[in-house]
């Protein structure tokens, strides 16, 4: 089933802009709360978009490496909250200069189309970035952080062979629903390179810091608001997108309360 067919069958997609971050851990948890609500039939196709608090989201494999605690300490020193996510590969960093898109949908056989969703949404998001003026394409670039077959990268206009990773995607599938998360790096890439360099060094993982960049590095002056509108327009080309009220979403699916315990 294509994106268009899925959207028609589901009756469209509700686009909900979260006005401010709940905090790094609560934001991550809320995506799972939305997934659970979709699985239980309490939530239809919904895309929540927000600007996150400074976060380094480690993969499950990272958390078992000897250097993980040191990596987490370095993140905190640089003002990023270290978390371990349930979906995705290696460590990825993001902050207020990024957009997170959490797209959830109820679907009886959610597992069947999992790989196809990576390809379809990757091409859709790359198209939205191209509409914003970025030379964007789908595919892993050598040495990128959190490498993945369906990463989205961008190229410099005057040097197309010089590419940077702009979007990482991850997916969590449960019986009856799926969650597809995309992190789009729009602005201020320097702090992300710094914290990723510190984290990957502590974990003993190789990567090339030159592969970490932002859309604004490629298109000077590009804003988060412009990119969000371009992505919304891209989704509108494949589904009936309607604006949803964030307050109503929170009434249906209450935001999680996270108790923070300071590290010793």
Query: What is the spatial distance between Cα 244 and Cα 64, in angstroms, rounded to a whole number?
Result: 39
Query: What is the spatial distance between Cα 219 and Cα 94, in angstroms, rounded to a whole number?
Result: 19
Query: What is the spatial distance between Cα 83 and Cα 146, in angstroms, rounded to a whole number?
Result: 15
Length of the chain: 264
Query: Across residues 101-110, what is the average pLDDT?
Result: 96
Render pLDDT for 20-34 as a digit per residue (tens, 0 to 9): 999 999 999 999 999
Indicate if the pLDDT at residue 9 is higher than 90.
no
DSSP state string for 98-124 = EEEEEEEEE-TTTTTTHHHHHHHHHHH
Render pLDDT for 106-140 as a digit per residue (tens, 0 to 9): 999 999 999 999 999 999 999 999 999 999 999 99
Q: Is the whole model's pTM more than 0.75, yes or no?
A: yes
The answer to whether residues 162 and 156 touch, using CB atoms and an 8 Å cutoff, is yes
């Amino acid at each position: 089933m294509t994106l268009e067919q899925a959207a028609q069958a589901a009756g469209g997609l509700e686009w909900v802009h979260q006005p401010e971050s709940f905090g790094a851990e609560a934001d991550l948890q809320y995506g799972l709360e939305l997934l659970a609500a979709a699985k239980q039939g309490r939530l239809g196709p919904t895309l929540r978009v927000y600007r996150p608090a400074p976060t380094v989201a480690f993969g499950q494999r990272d958390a078992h490496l000897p250097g993980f605690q040191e990596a987490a300490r370095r993140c905190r020193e640089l003002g990023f909250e270290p978390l371990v996510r349930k979906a995705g590969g290696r460590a990825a960093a993001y902050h207020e200069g990024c957009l997170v898109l959490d797209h959830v949908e109820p679907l009886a056989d959610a597992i069947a189309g999992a790989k196809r969703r990576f390809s379809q949404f990757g091409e859709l998001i790359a198209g939205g970035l191209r509409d914003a003026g970025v030379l964007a394409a789908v595919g892993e670039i050598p040495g990128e952080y959190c490498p993945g077959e369906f990463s989205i990268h961008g190229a410099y206009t005057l040097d197309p062979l010089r590419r940077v990773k702009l979007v990482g995607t991850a997916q969590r599938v449960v019986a009856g629903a799926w969650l597809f998360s995309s992190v789009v790096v729009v602005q201020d890439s320097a702090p992300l390179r710094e914290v990723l360099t510190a984290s990957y060094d502590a974990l003993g993982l190789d990567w090339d810091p030159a592969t970490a960049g932002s859309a604004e590095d490629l298109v000077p002056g590009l804003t988060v608001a412009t990119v969000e509108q371009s992505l919304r327009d891209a989704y509108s080309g494949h589904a009936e997108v309607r604006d949803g009220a964030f307050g109503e979403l929170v009434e249906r699916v209450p935001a999680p309360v996270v108790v923070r315990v300071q590290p010793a």
